[in-house]
Chain A
């Protein structure tokens, strides 16, 4: 199959991107500055991320759609205000996770942002579960650009006046060059920031305007170190069909109202797991010293018995040390529990630690 390119591909090339294939797309892993500089620039200034490979699914409908989506997502969508966003999951009956996503209520339906590798399958699952009753559109004509970091609000507001009034996890339509953009105040780096859904034809000129104001393009390499420092899950690593939201320590994303009554796909399993506790749970892990424990590293207790596995591990540039997330047996999940990580045949000491590794600075309200 031919590799797909986003509408910013030429701009990435012009900015000396190193490319990798990701979910069938040619995506920039880093630019000339490298992962660590790009990471730090995002934390101190503003980084631009091309996330156009992600799915932008529009589903059109009214109150019936809201009721039907409540049979799928563990969210209180009836009480969700227009233009407000929620983090959620698409699950199977066993509460295994098909995908994690952000859903936003629009005037005439919903916008769901899906992972690139999952988007086509998600479309099928949703369309079938909704019995093909609603008009659904997995957008091909829109790019998705994120701007993240402490300077993001100032830079983006110069280009799109009014975005500074958005609060965290809300969005709205804005005018840009005679076209409508949908902007949400959200992101996946642990920084304040925005995601902008924009027509492909305008994406390059828009992104260049952000660069001109001092933001810089950031690759997927730094996106990964940023999200890991922020303690955020990555589908295919922390989350998959063999993990439930309870095991992933994402109970906070499940609406309390919905837990009491259930009635969504996977609700029985989730309610039981919350009552009885999950066998394993996702934790933060800090290796002692500089050792990096990558995905699939085996985790042992102090008696050297296996208790789990790392799902993501790297060097955290803002922490200036190694960090990881993984799943361990519940009884070893308490903060400061001493564990061992087997790397290249040797067991190395590490500690269970609090997430996030890096304290986020999301903007909660309008100043």
Chain B
């Protein structure tokens, strides 16, 4: 498993072979508050880097989920659709959103590492 990378839209991504697992960050869930609804892309669909690939809703508002890389959706996490509260419980672990078969692994290069993201998250929330 590769190093975890992060996007400015507060998604995290890890790579195993050419399959990326994507979710939203702990920081994102703290900003959103209690998540009560999740919508994921369809299995087999293709998503484009920085395009929308789902929705999460808190009690207060709806927010788009973006994909930091392009690819074909090969799996989705039905457990977070059935029980969206799981996203608040373990956003960077069990509550991953979807898996993509990546088209171009070099798309990862522009993303942030943990240290860079933590700094970015701190600055963007203050």
Task: Enumerate A17-46 residues with CB–CB distance to B below 8 Å.
Answer: 29-30, 34-37
Give the distance in Å from the alpha carbon of A314 to the alpha carbon of B35 in the complex. 11
B84 contacts partner chain A, Cβ-Cβ < 8 Å: yes
A292 contact set on B, CB distance < 8 A: 36-37, 57, 62
B88 contact set on A, CB distance < 8 A: 34
Cross-chain contact A291 with B59 (CB below 8 angstroms): no
Q: B24-65 interface mask toward A, CB cutoff 8 Å, 1 = contact, 0 = none? A: 000000000110110000000000000000010111111000
In chain B, what residue has the closest Cβ to A321? B36
Cross-chain contact A36 with B37 (CB below 8 angstroms): no
Cross-chain contact A35 with B59 (CB below 8 angstroms): yes
Set A29, A224, A315: member contacting B36, Cβ < 8 A: A315
A135 contacts partner chain B, Cβ-Cβ < 8 Å: no
A322 contacts partner chain B, Cβ-Cβ < 8 Å: yes
Decide: A35 near B37, CB < 8 A? Known: A290-B84, A344-B55: no
Shortest CB–CB separation between residue A189 and chain B, in angstroms? 15
Cross-chain contact A225 with B62 (CB below 8 angstroms): no
Task: Enumerate A185-230 residues with CB–CB distance to B below 8 Å.
Answer: 221, 224-225
B62 contact set on A, CB distance < 8 A: 292, 294
Residues of B within 8 A of A (CB-CB), count: 15
Set A34, A37, A225, A315: member contacting B37, Cβ < 8 A: A315
B57 contact set on A, CB distance < 8 A: 292, 315
Task: Enumerate B77-105 residues with CB–CB distance to A below 8 Å.
Answer: 81, 84-85, 88
Shortest CB–CB separation between residue B65 and chain A, in angstroms? 12
In chain A, what residue has the closest Cβ to B52? A344
A294 contact set on B, CB distance < 8 A: 61-62
Give the distance in Å from the alpha carbon of A292 to the alpha carbon of B57 in the complex. 8
Cross-chain contact B37 with A30 (CB below 8 angstroms): no
Cross-chain contact A225 with B59 (CB below 8 angstroms): yes
Shortest CB–CB separation between residue A252 and chain B, in angstroms? 29
In chain B, what residue has the closest Cβ to A290? B37
Give the distance in Å from the alpha carbon of A62 to the alpha carbon of B103 in the complex. 80
Shortest CB–CB separation between residue A209 and chain B, in angstroms? 29
Cross-chain contact A290 with B36 (CB below 8 angstroms): yes
Give the distance in Å from the alpha carbon of A322 to the alpha carbon of B61 in the complex. 13
A291 contact set on B, CB distance < 8 A: 37
A37 contact set on B, CB distance < 8 A: 34
Cross-chain contact A315 with B59 (CB below 8 angstroms): yes
Cross-chain contact A30 with B36 (CB below 8 angstroms): no
B55 contact set on A, CB distance < 8 A: 344
Decide: A322 near B37, CB < 8 A? Known: A290-B84, A294-B62: yes
Give the distance in Å from the alpha carbon of A294 to the alpha carbon of B76 in the complex. 25
B84 contact set on A, CB distance < 8 A: 290
Q: B3-39 interface mask toward A, CB cutoff 8 Å, 1 = contact, 0 = none? A: 0000000000000000000000000000001101100
Q: Can you name 16 A-B residue pairings with CB atoms under 8 Å?
A: A34-B33, A34-B88, A35-B33, A35-B59, A36-B85, A37-B34, A221-B33, A221-B59, A291-B37, A292-B37, A292-B62, A314-B59, A314-B60, A315-B36, A315-B57, A344-B55
Give A residues with C-beta under 8 Å from B. Answer: 29-30, 34-37, 221, 224-225, 290-292, 294, 314-315, 317, 322, 344
Give B residues with C-beta under 8 Å from A. Answer: 33-34, 36-37, 55, 57-62, 81, 84-85, 88
